[in-house]
Amino acid sequence: MTFKNNIFSIAVIGSDTRLHPCWRNPGLSVSFLEDPRDLVDPDIDFIFLTNPVIWDASGSYQTSQLEKTINNIRTVSSRISIIVTSIMPIGVSDQLGCHYLPFVHPIFGCNVLLPFDMQAIRSVLEALFPDQAIVVHSTRDAEMRCLVETCQKWINQSFYREISHFCLKNRIKPSFLSTPPVDREMIPILTYMIRQIEDTRLDCPLLYSCLFRHNYIDIPI
């Protein structure tokens, strides 16, 4: 891995994340690209790929667009470490041959099937998140942890809304009555996790009730 004047050279490809505070560290030289075909510098140390997998309402997903983007990157250089940053289904980072760093829950998934420099990875993580201790996991463990923490957020939000409705009905006015907006784009991921639990012959009433609340109770009329 080549570093220029002790500065990591990073390319960010995909969704526009220019305002994310992690890119402001002076130890990072960051370029933002909309298309992987704009990548011309073979000396880039890391590529952060922010494009998501495509989910549908049933919890299924397809990764063909991500695979196409990764293949285009590797036509420029097969040496560059690619790190995917969106919420990933279990096992997809390994299938894509990438490391994993979901910005929604800053944890790092290291793909041990790839050549990697752990000292360089830790240095980049410290530069990206100087105020957080980022624990390194396997890619599968990082994917699972991100999915579980995302579902936990929804469970908490659904419970919060139930308490808010109870307070309104009983004319109680606590300070927490305003509820955060429902991110309906995340519902397929919740469905995916319910299907994963069903595949292991388990049941999760909390996830079902959370999904029911989002699908039927919180729909704007």
- The CA radius of gyration of the chain, in Å to the nearest whole number, is 20
Q: Taking the model in full, what pTM does it have?
A: 0.80
Q: Which two tokens stand for residue 94?
A: 């390994």
Alpha helical stretches, state H, 58-186: 64-76, 92-96, 118-128, 139-169
Q: In angstroms, what CA-CA distances link 187 with 60, 134, 172?
A: 12, 27, 30
CATH number attached to the domain at 8-137: 3.40.50.720
Q: Which of 123-132, 143-152, 154-163 has the lowest mean pLDDT?
A: 154-163
The larger pLDDT score, comparing residue 65 to residue 201, is at 65
pLDDT score, position 218: 64
* Phi, psi dihedrals of residue 171, rounded to the nearest 5°: 55, 40
Q: Which of 17-31, 72-86, 122-136 has the lowest mean pLDDT?
A: 17-31
The larger pLDDT score, comparing residue 216 to residue 91, is at 91
pLDDT score, position 177: 52
Mean pLDDT, the chain, as a whole number? 81
What residue ranges do the domains of the chain occupy?
8-137, 143-217
**Distance separating alpha carbons of residues 106 and 24, to the nearest angstrom:** 16
Question: 3-state class of 13 per DSSP?
Answer: strand
**Distance separating alpha carbons of residues 218 and 221, to the nearest angstrom:** 9
Q: Which of 46-60, 81-95, 99-113, 147-161 has the lowest mean pLDDT?
A: 147-161
- Burial label for 1, CB within 10 Å (0-12, 13-18, 19+), is middle
Residue carrying structure tokens 């790929």: 49
**Looking at the predicted structure, is the pLDDT value of residue 64 above 80?**
yes
**Distance separating alpha carbons of residues 166 and 117, to the nearest angstrom:** 53
**Distance separating alpha carbons of residues 134 and 129, to the nearest angstrom:** 8
Q: In angstroms, what CA-CA distances link 45 with 2, 48, 92?
A: 7, 10, 22
| pLDDT tens column, 36-59 | 777 766 678 889 998 889 998 888
Beta bridge partners of 8: 28
**Distance separating alpha carbons of residues 52 and 15, to the nearest angstrom:** 9
Nearest to 87 by CA among 100, 69, 71, 68: 100
Residue carrying structure tokens 């292991």: 200
Q: Which of 23-27, 72-76, 83-87, 198-202 has the lowest mean pLDDT?
A: 198-202
Answer yes or no: are the C-beta atoms of 89 and 192 closer than 8 Å: yes
Give the CA angle between residues 122, 128, 181 to the nearest 5°. 125
The larger pLDDT score, comparing residue 70 to residue 157, is at 70
